[in-house]
Each structure stands twice: as structure tokens, then as C-alpha cells.
Structure 1
Amino acid sequence: MSKVTLVLGAGIIGVSTAIHLARRGRSVVLVDRRGAGEETSFGNAGLIQREGVVPYGFPQELGMLIRYGFNNRIDAHYHASAILKLVPFLSRYWWHSNKSRHQVIARAYAPLIENSVSEHQDLIQAAHADHLIRKDGWMEIFRTTGKRDTELAEAERLAREYGVSYRALNRDELAKEEPHIRGDFVGGLKWNDPWSVTDPHGLTQAYLTYFQSLGGRFVKGDALSLETGASGKGWRVKTDDGMVEGDDVVLALGPWSEDVTRKFGYRFLLGVKRGYHMHYAPAGNAVLNNWTMDAERGYFLAPMEKGIRLTTGAEFANRDAPKSPVQLARAEKVAREIFPLAERLDAEPWMGARPCTPDMMPVIGKAPRHEGMWFAFGHAHHGLTLGPVTGRLIAEMMDGEKTFIDAKAWSPERFRP
């Protein structure tokens, strides 16, 4: 009889993990309180970021920290009422972002990113989801020569050290790429390797359908009800279909993972970066060709199936605090100056919460003190990017196989007191 495995959390990480486990002959039950991909996986910028080998660090320059302190930017915003609660996470995040430590982290992080596109390709083909994918990279555009030169120098370093591919764009080349973008931009940077997703929620749904075709089962349930089995072995959780039991359980609950791990005595110092998006119709016959970041301002414009999606930077706040989309309002004002956006297409701004660890790397591996419990969370800005590679790693670990890349750097053991 095949092992029964519970996967808690049906975002891109959980669904990808469920697929890889089902492929190995396990009986897999995927559990979420909502539909698949309806939380953090719903509202990202839609990038599979092969170039993203360097995780987003905390600013180190005093001048930049002072500017962030005024709390009037698009790329970062904070709730003053939440700062004291956030200090333990932010202070460790700042410490790990020191240049020398950050470089070590990037080298450890890179193998995940380097396999992101190939692992997605495997599932995209199996799920017949090619219609949701574009393979022409994304673009940063620059208002100043200083920012342009700094970013191009970093791109050259990443090309040399990690094999990423890019192309520098002068003014004329940028205008050819994006004839409807206006403003005094001095040039751009085209990342060639990443893929983009025209509907991230649709991709998760396609993966879910593929998982179900493998015999997997998806039910709605309460992850907080997780407890050991009646005999003291295995795990069980309450669902709309009653109590469901399994031999193993994978926690892939994103920013809600901490709610369950704390129940079992783990302390991961998990933080969140909240983010917002809104869709817009283009005005007239305007077309946005590329996934585009306004580098100095810190927002993203993405031509998705539902319209042009504008996404903000990070909001540091309590995870469950009410929406405060001030960054979106700031970004929309600036975005309308550079591209002819028409009406808003969503009834209200969407908000999601990215699960972040202070060392900027995810938690992937076996729970140190509980048999049959596994962790797959903390992917910060790269949840969509790293869903399939994480799923494959977890499945290989659970079946006692040699993992296709060394996974020690992301082990939960690094958080043990």
C-alpha cells in the first residue's frame, strides 16, 4: 500500500511538491483553506527569475536607510505601529545583508535559481501550460546614468560568476523595445534568461489539474488543526471531508507556516514582506511589450492576461494588518507618467504576504524533532520561481534519494538554538 502524504498549503510551492510526490507513487492529499494559488501565489509579478541568484538584501548605506525612514517611497513602506515587533527579524535581516555575508548567501542560494527554469519546464509541459509562458526575459529601465552603470556592472558580474545572460539597451534600443514608454530614460537592461507567466494563478491551477490527473486529491481544510495520528504515529488534519490522515506531512504554508511550526515548538523568525497589485487597461492602442521595472522608482509593469499588472515593492507590517495600499497609489501616479494606463480593472487592490527568513534563503527539509514532518517555505520574492525545484528536492529527500543538488544550505537545522 502506498504511503499517504499530506501537503498543507496549495500555493505554487505546495502544488509543485504534491506533484513530485504523486509522481513517485505516493497517495497525496493537498490541503488548503482556500482554492489553489489564491493567496501569495496569486499576485506576484509573474517571473521565473533565472537571473535572480542574489536575494534581495536589506540596505546597508546610511543615506539610503535615512531615505527609507521618511516612509514615502514605492519600493518600501512600513507601518510604524509594527516596527517594535519586527525589530528581531529586521535586525537579523540587516546583519545577513552585510556585503561579505550576502555574497556567501548568494553562492549558496544560486543552485536553486540555476535550476528554476528547467524544473518549471518539466511541469509546464506535463500540465500543458505552455500558453501561459513567455520566454523573452524582462527589462529594467533607468532614469539616471549612475543607476544604469551600477546595474550594468552588477549584470556583468552575474554573467561572469553565474552564467546569466543580459543585454544593455541604449536610448534608441529602449525606444524600439517599448515605443509607448515615454520619459527621459537613459537606457535599459534586458535579462534574457527568465521566463514570464501571463497568469500566475492560472499556472498554479494548471499544475493542480495535472496533480489531480496523477491521482492526487485536493480538499479544503484547516492546517492549524494538524496533530499527530490517533496511535501517536503519522499525522492528521481536519478538512471539509472529515479528518484526513497521512504517514507524512509537508508544511508549505508560506507566511502562515509559522502558525503551525510554533505549535510544535519551532522558532524560525519568519518575517513577511507584503505587496500589492492592480490591473489596468492600456489607453488607446498602447502596448507594453516587456515585463518592465522602473528601476529608480521600484515598481513593476507586466502585460498579463488580465491587463497590465502594476506591482509594488515591500511593505513591512504585521502579516494580518488591514490593507494600506499607499505604495500602489504612489506607483500608479508615476506609472501613468511613463505609460498610457487607462482605467483600473480590479474592484480593489490585491495584497499578498511574502514569507521571508532573515538569511534570505528558504527552509527546505526534514523537521529536526518530528518524524514524518517536512518544511517547504520562506521563499520570499522567489516563490513562483522556486516552486518546482523545491517540490523535487522535498520528494527526493522524503524517498531517501540523493538530491539532484546539495540541499544542506536550506536545511531547517540552521535555525536550531
Structure 2
Amino acid sequence: MKHDVIVLGAGMVGVSCALHLQARGEAVALLDRRAPGLETSFGNAGIIQREAIAPYALPRDFGFLLSGATNQRIDVRYHAGDAARLLGPLWAYYRNSAPEAYRHISREYETLIAHSLETHQQLMNDADAHHLVAGQGYLMLYRSERELHDFFHVADERVEAGVHHIKLTGADVAREEPSLQGAFAGAVRWTDPLAIRSPGDLVQAYARLFQQRGGALHLGEATTLRRTDEGGWQVDTADGPVLQAQQVVVALGPWTTQLTARFGYTAPMIPKRGYHMHYAPLPGRPLNSTIIDAEYGYVVAPMKNGLRLTTGAELALPDAPRTPTQIDDAEKIARQNFPLGDRVDPEPWMGTRPCMPDMKPVFGAVPDVPGMWCAFGHGHQGFTLGPITGELLAAMMTGAKPRVEVGPFSPGRFG
């Protein structure tokens, strides 16, 4: 089965790449070991974060580093053995989080986030998927007056980048979210982002659009990728046919470099695992918005399956044993304030965010591997940045001029 391009990976990034290549006239086959949107794209907080014009830096204050070292924080945990293996990338992450380096990285990162909403909205229009939008905006909730007013300053700075917000006092929060219990200093309501009631369903809606437009969707193992005698690529499908194409896009999230390493390309990656659990809503106590607890780093979001609690980051390799104590501890805190009923899921879901030491995604031509392209490393924002990544990569692959300077995101920046 011959195509122009094979895209490996059917998460938000891979599906978006397939759609944009298809829109530029390429015959595209999309392959994953599971149905679209069932890996990392399935389990996030479901926010298209237009306000996130700066990536997540590694805090450099001594208090955070000391508390993190004890492995008792709610927002960050680690597997000691895996963290030791990641010392090189973590040290680079720490250096890139220094103020001057971070400002430069954020300016480059912002060029992508600026197009996140428009590119999603276009695909939502085409896929007839607006019913999956639960609402606009979300709350960043604070308990401390000092931290709240520090964040007010951050929010004001982002206005210059076209990001909008509303400042809320504790009384305002109580009026907007009467089901919350406890006293809060206040919150920032980011008004631009879109909250999605089921992120996995949105990926699947985009994948159906790809099929409706003539795209081929297959189950199969990306690890079967190999060169053809003619210098192209082929990969096996689970139902028998072999896909062939001159070009391949590797968009396998945290597993991308495991595959590209077979062809000579590696890049340092910091896997940040996350967990989620759904809870039954309590009668008469609705949650009106997605809320991030700024102090403890978890999110509670109204979803189609109930209230979804998502954790911060667990530094561990993607295939390391699950340690859901982080979500258990976050749940204990969240239950003091949020209207969480009984657990709905039989066990916590887990996924892995592929994060790079310089906090920027990686997309473009794989160095010294003709016909191979990649798109990965979006960290916490793969769900947000998938469509703009797909647009820019498709432009590069078809010889068009991308509307954003893509040099800062080149795979060639890593060796």
C-alpha cells in the first residue's frame, strides 16, 4: 500500500501532522499501536492553553530544590534510579531555566502558542467538534495573598502578548465556584483558553476527519519501520498490509527517540509522567470551571466521565512501574476543597509527557536520515500545540514557507 507519507503516532501531534500533510495534497497513512488519542493525549487536563506563552521552567530557588529532594512534594515526584539516569538532561534543564536563557526560550516558544487557538478552532470547525468544548477559560487558584499578587504581576505582563485575564478576590472565587470549600486568597481567570470535556474524543474527531478526507488509518507497531531497497520506508500493519512511502514522520511522543535511535538520531529527553482519576460529582455541588491548584500543582476539570483530577510531574522512565501515590496524595488535598465523590475509574490512568531540556518541542527533518521527519517533545503542551506543529511541519515537508521561524525547534539542535 503506497503513500506519500507515513505518520507514526496517532496522538494530537501525529493526527495534526497527518491532517495538514493531507491538506497539502499528500497521500498519508497514519499508524499507531492503539486507536487515536489513547496515549498521552487521552489523559491531560483538556485545556487548549493560549495563555501558556512560557514553558514550565525548573524552579531554581533553594526551598523548592530541598523539598523536591525529599520526594514529598505533591506537584513533583521522582523515581530515584530513573532520576539518576536523567542527571545530564536535568542539569541542562536547570541551566536553561536561568532568567536570561529562559526569557530567550520563552520568546521562541510564544511564537507557537500564539497560533494554538486559531489552528484548533479551524480543525474543530472542519471536524464538527465544537460540542466537545466545555467552556472558555479556567481558574488559577491561590491560597496565599503574596503568591496571588505575584501572579497578578505575571498575568499583567502577558497582556502585552495578547493574553487576557480577570483578577478575582477570594470573595469573587466564592461567588463563581460556590461548591468550593475553604478560604482562598483569590485567583486569575484566564479567559482565552478552551476547556475540552474529553481530550481523547477531540483527537478521535480529528482522526475521523482525516479518514473522511481519504486518509488511511491503521493499527500496527512503529517498531517494524525499516528502509526499502529503493531508499523509502515501510512498516507493517496489524491486519496484514505493508505500508510504503518515501517519507515518514515519527510522532511517538516519549517513544520517538527509541525509534529514531535505530537510524542514528538521539536527543535528550526528560519524561514527566502524570496520572489522572475521575470522580463522581456530588449532587447539588457542580464545578463550573477547570481549576488549577497553584500551590499543589494538580488540576480538577469537569469532564464527560466526571471530575478529572490530574497530577503534576513524576520523573520516571515511560515503562517504569506505576507509583500512583502522587495522585493519592493529591486527592487527599483536593477533597478538602473540591466536590469529589467516589472514584469512578478502576485504577488511575498514567501517561508520559516528553519534555526537552530546553523546554521547546522538536519538529523538522531528522539529521542525516533522508526522508525521516519527527515531531515530539512538546512537554505539557502537546495537546495545545499539535495543530500548529502539524501545519508548520507540513509546510516544511512540501517546500512551502512556514509562517513561524522554525529554526529554534529543529531536531538538529541536539547533536
TM-score range, shorter chain: over 0.9
Counterpart residue identity of residue 143, structure 1: R
| Partner residue in 2 for 1:140 | 140
| Partner residue in 2 for 1:43 | 43
Aligned pairs, number? 413
Q: Deviations along 1:153-188, whole A, 9 cap, x unmatched?
A: 11111113x121111001221111100101110111
Tell me, what secondary structure is at the counterpart of 1:249? Answer: strand
Counterpart residue identity of residue 229, structure 2: A
Tell me, what secondary structure is at the counterpart of 1:275? Answer: strand
| Partner residue in 1 for 2:9 | 9
Tell me, what secondary structure is at the counterpart of 1:405? Answer: coil
CA contact (8 A) 2:280 2:344 kept: yes
Counterpart residue identity of residue 153, structure 1: H
Q: How does 1:81-160 map to 2 (within 5 A)?
A: 81-160=81-160
TM-score computed with the length of structure 1 as normaliser:
0.97
Tell me, what secondary structure is at the counterpart of 2:109? Answer: helix
1:220 counterpart = 2:219: yes
1:362 counterpart = 2:358: no
- Return structure 1 stretches of 4+ with deviation > 6 angstroms: none
TM-score computed with the length of structure 2 as normaliser:
0.98
Q: Distance in 2 between matches of 1:263 and 1:302?
A: 39
| Partner residue in 2 for 1:234 | 232
Q: Distance in 1 between matches of 2:191 and 2:339?
A: 26
| Partner residue in 1 for 2:390 | 391
Residue 66 of structure 1 and its aligned partner are, at CA, apart by: 0.3
Q: Deviations along 1:38-78, whole A, 9 cap, x unmatched?
A: 11011000010000011001111112100111111111001
**More moved, 40-49 vs 222-231:** 222-231
RMSD: 1.1
| Partner residue in 2 for 1:308 | 307
1:28 counterpart = 2:47: no
Q: Distance in 2 between matches of 1:348 and 1:50?
A: 31
Residue 303 of structure 1 and its aligned partner are, at CA, apart by: 0.4
Tell me, what secondary structure is at the counterpart of 1:136? Answer: strand
CA contact (8 A) 2:300 2:308 kept: yes
Residue 415 of structure 1 and its aligned partner are, at CA, apart by: 1.0
Tell me, what secondary structure is at the counterpart of 2:368? Answer: coil
Counterpart residue identity of residue 235, structure 1: W
Q: Distance in 2 between matches of 1:71 and 1:270?
A: 21
Percent identical pairs in the alignment equals 45
Counterpart residue identity of residue 237, structure 1: V
1:254 counterpart = 2:253: yes
Q: Distance in 2 between matches of 1:125 and 1:64?
A: 43
Q: Deviations along 1:225-264, whole A, 9 cap, x unmatched?
A: 2111122x11111212332111110010000001111111
Q: Distance in 2 between matches of 1:388 and 1:144?
A: 36
Residue 9 of structure 1 and its aligned partner are, at CA, apart by: 0.3
Q: Which ranges in structure 1 are unaligned for 5 or more consecutive residues?
A: none
Q: Distance in 1 between matches of 2:203 and 2:38?
A: 9
1:264 counterpart = 2:282: no
Residue 3 of structure 1 and its aligned partner are, at CA, apart by: 5.4
Q: Distance in 2 between matches of 1:50 and 1:135?
A: 14
Q: Distance in 1 between matches of 2:281 and 2:47?
A: 21
Tell me, what secondary structure is at the counterpart of 2:302? Answer: strand
Counterpart residue identity of residue 318, structure 1: L
| Partner residue in 1 for 2:374 | 375
